[in-house]
Chains A and B, each alone.
Chain A
Amino acid sequence: MEGVVSNLLLGFSVALTPSVLAYAFAGCVIGTLVGMLPGLGPLAGISLLLPATYGLNPIIAIVLLAGVYYGAMYGGSTTSILMSIPGEAASVMTCVDGYAMTLRGRAGPALAIAAIGSFIAGTLSVVALMFLAPTLASFALRFGPPEYTALLMMGLLVLSYMSGGSMAKTLTMATVGLLLGMIGIDAMSGYTRFNYDVIELSDGIGIVPLAVGMFGLSEILLTAGQPTPPRVQKPTLRQLIPSRDEFLLSVGPIARGSVLGFLIGIIPGSAHIISSFVSYGVERRMSAHPERFGNGAIEGVAGPESANNSAATGAFVPMLALGIPTGPITAVMLSAIMVHGISPGPMLITEQPELFWGFVASMYVGNVVLLILNLPLVGVFVNLLRIPYSYLYPAILCFCILGVYSVSSSVVEVWIMLGTGGFGYLLRKLGYDLAPIALGLVLSPMLELSLRQSLAMSGGSYAIFFDRPIAVTMFVVSGVLILLALKPLVFKSKDWRSKVGLDEQA
């Protein structure tokens, strides 16, 4: 405990320096805007900002990008509540009861509870991150290539099991991502694969063009040409205050959403999205009056909004402790610190204490900043929603080109973005989840390398995966997940997606 306190003090000494504070603030503001604007989710926002962080020091870079991430979680609720337009996917569930409250003239309390829930969940999850990440990192020092192989395989299976859509479709997407990750130089043999004499492809397909294409461009292709949004309500400060009943009804959902979100955040997949669906399902099930859900139940705002913020922080645990991204957002953030020559992995926390603890402390600061931005200043941000989308999306498209070109000053990357954008559009029309592609792309080289290193260690024997207890445990978990996925097929029962209402929303 004493160690944690002294480390946290070190963190605050970093986070409260004017430059870090300024960038944390900038990240939160940009994140809030990104969360509010349809067509620009946190992943596309972070990817576009990535080149701008190359000239910054790694602490500032990660603080800025993390601010965008959890800022988007806060900001996403505003458009959901006021206009029933989810600024980003994690806010879909907030639309249901949040917008119903707006129609009943209770937009202010809905916004306030969303911001307060996000603040409490965000703060509690940072406390959990602070204690869990160093413990997990010291445990992961025992990991060798076989454990990493098992962990990555398990991660991909958990992702598929926990994804919102069908497991077969998610596995297909993950495999497409893994195959895309095969493009470029093979680290073990030096062979260049599938580059078709395009020199830029020798380094493989980057996460940024793929992420911006799949998540930014494809969204614009889907939404461009939509009718002008309806008139936006602008609640005053007085109207934001929830009633005593609304406040009391929100306490339980906020607490449950915080815990649930953090736990879901740790496991791979689109955690911030899934957590909000699961939280909504749990709250509806636990409610004495489930019929209120869908008609403006404050619990339907408090739970999902707390959960998606908590999940955003939970996703940092494996990223910082193991150096393994659990989703495309953390993958882009890892690349931001790798650009500065910092190797992610279990040694990161001990070798770069200023980075880790500065980052943790900056999240406490960021949560306070976001509470201020999303309560008293919500009216200022709401003005942005008055810009017609027909002006907004061409500018976002140009930003996509600018951001991707900036990464390596290469038009090939921009062509990749356009290609993946078109491909992503088709996949979304056909009901595929795109997150596994991005995760597969990042994990693919790691998985191949660790598999081949394991076999090199054992002289070609696959028994190495079953001789090591940690690897065996992970493979057993993977096996259990496969059985759980098969259960609804064999017994014709409902799977967890139907139970939490993900099927209804898909």
Chain B
Amino acid sequence: MSEPSATGAQGGLRSDQISGVVFVLIALLTAWENRSYPLGSLSEPGPGYMPLLLAIALGAFGLLVALRGSASPLFNTIDWTESKRGIVLLIACGVGVFVLERIGYRLTMIALLVFMLGVVERKRPLPTVLVSFGFAFISYFVFATMLKVQLPQGPWGL
């Protein structure tokens, strides 16, 4: 959980006010997308009935969160220092998922771990290579060979 550095009388929007409004927007978007499903009636609800009801509830709760958000921390005081690393990790995982079925499980895991340990964490090459290859091959052996879980194979059967 983030620690606000100040919640005093400074100006600016509060975190609950921003998140509450975002939920109201999500509710509106959901209700808009729900148009294509028949609503049915109160006594005989159709497939669009429940999503609409929930979208209305989400909008109401979002509004409540926003209105009661004056005691929450100021949005610009939330500490986001770890977010840069988080975004890099998410993008790396995204690339990994994209290539997973193209180059196979073991090569993907080796590439991901080499990137995370070698580039993000700046570990020395030898432990990076050992951990990356060790993890990829041992986890493949345990899951694919012993537990018969289907994992994608890449070129040269890797």
Q: Which residues of A contact B (CB under 8 A)?
A: 51-52, 55, 166, 168-169, 171-172, 175-176, 178-179, 182, 186, 188-189, 191, 193-194, 217, 220-226, 390-391, 394-395, 397-399, 401-402, 405-406, 409, 411, 414-415, 418, 421-422, 425, 427-432, 448, 451-452, 455-456, 459-462, 506
A411/B101 contact (C-beta < 8 A), A172-B65, A448-B50 known: yes
Residues in A whose Cβ lies below 8 Å from that of B109: 398, 401-402
Q: How far is the CB of B72 from chain A (nearest CB, A)?
A: 7
Residues on the A chain within 8 Å of B57, using CB? 171, 175
B51 x A193 contact (CB < 8 A): yes
CA distance A220 to B78 in the complex (A): 18
- Which of A394, A402, A430 contacts B15, CB < 8 Å? A430
B86 x A224 contact (CB < 8 A) = yes
Subset of 7 A-B contacts with CB under 8 Å: A55-B148, A172-B62, A226-B82, A397-B116, A429-B80, A432-B19, A461-B43
Is the CB–CB distance between A194 and B33 below 8 Å? Answer: yes
Size of chain B's interface in residues, with CB distance under 8 A?
68
Contacts A225-B85, A411-B97 hold; do A451 and B50 have CB atoms under 8 A apart?
yes
Q: Closest residue of chain B to A422, judged by CB? A: B90
* A402 neighbours in B (Cβ, 8 Å): 105, 109, 139, 143, 151
CB-based contact A52/B149 at 8 Å = yes
What chain A residues lie within 8 Å of B18 (beta carbons)? 430
B57 CB to nearest chain A CB (Å): 5
| Given A175-B57, A397-B116, A401-B100, A425 and B86 contact (CB-CB distance below 8 Å) | yes
Contact present for A398 and B65 (CB under 8 Å): no
On chain A, the residues within 8 Å of B50 by CB distance are 182, 448, 451
The reply to whether the CB of B131 lies closer than 8 angstroms to some CB of chain A is: yes
How many A-B pairs have beta carbons closer than 8 Å: the answer is 167
B157 to chain A, nearest CB (A): 17
Docked complex: B59-106 residues within 8 A CB-CB of A = 61-62, 64-65, 68, 72-73, 78, 80, 82-83, 85-86, 89-90, 93-94, 96-97, 100-101, 105
Contact of B82 among A224, A391, A405 (CB under 8 A): A224
Which A-chain residue is minimally distant from B136 (CB atoms)?
A: A398
A429–B97 CB distance below 8 A: no
Q: A179-B58, A406-B151 are in contact. List 9 more A-B contacts (CB 8 A).
A: A171-B61, A179-B55, A222-B86, A224-B86, A225-B85, A390-B117, A391-B117, A401-B96, A451-B45
Shortest distance in angstroms between B91's beta carbon and chain A's nearest beta carbon? 10
Known: A220-B89, A391-B131. A168 touches B61 (CB 8 A): yes
Bound-state CA distance A169–B19 (Å) is 10
Contacts of B93 in A (CB 8 A): 217, 397, 401, 418
B20, B51, B68, B101: the one contacting A179 at CB < 8 Å is B51
- Chain A residues within an 8 Å CB radius of B113: 394-395, 398
Question: Would you call B30 and A179 a contact (CB within 8 A)?
Answer: yes
**Within the assembled complex, what's the spacing in Å between the Cα atoms of A299 and B64?**
39
Bound form: Cα–Cα A448–B54 in Å: 11
Which residue from chain B places its CB closest to the CB of A505 in the assembled complex? B1
Residues of chain A lying within 8 A (CB to CB) of residue B152: 409
Interface SS of chain B: helix
Contact between chains at A398 and B148 (CB < 8 Å): no
Give the residue among B48, B54, B105, B148 with the most A Cβ atoms within 10 A.
B54
The 6 closest A-B pairs by CB, nearest first: A460-B43, A221-B86, A394-B116, A191-B47, A186-B47, A172-B61
Q: Is the CB of B135 closer than 8 A to any CB of chain A? A: yes
> In the complex, which residues of chain A have a beta carbon less than 8 angstroms from the beta carbon of B90?
221, 418, 421-422
Q: Which partner residue on chain B sits nearest A399 by CB separation?
A: B139
Q: List the B side residues contacting A428 at CB < 8 Å.
A: 1
B141 beta carbon closer than 8 Å to chain A: no
- Give the complex CA separation of A57 and B95 in angstroms: 36
Whether B44 and A51, one on each chain, are in contact in the complex, defined by CB atoms closer than 8 angstroms, is no
Q: Provided the pairs A406-B151, A431-B72, A460-B43 are in contact, do residues A221 and B89 lie with their beta carbons within 8 angstroms? A: yes
Interface centre among A191, A394, A428 (most CB of B within 10 A): A394
Residues of B with C-beta under 8 A to A455: 43-45
Give complex CA distance A425, B83 in Å. Answer: 9
Q: With the chains together, A176 CA to B23 CA distance in Å?
A: 9
Q: Is the beta-carbon distance between A225 and B82 smaller than 8 angstroms?
A: yes
Q: Which residues of A contact B96 (CB under 8 A)?
A: 401
User: B1, B37, B117, B148: which contacts A431 (Cβ < 8 A)?
Assistant: B1
Collect the chain B residues with CB atoms within 8 Å of residue A405's CB: 100, 151
- A175, B58: Cβ atoms under 8 Å? yes
Contacts of B30 in A (CB 8 A): 179
- CB pair A406 B47 closer than 8 Å: no
A452 touches B85 (CB 8 A): no
Instruction: Please indicate the chain B residues that have their CB under 8 angstroms from the CB of A397 in the complex.
Output: 89, 93, 112, 116
Contact yes or no, A52 B61, CB < 8 A: no
Closest beta carbon of chain B to A398's beta carbon, Å: 5
Q: Are B143 and A52 in contact (CB under 8 A)?
A: yes
Contact B68 A168 (CB under 8 A): yes
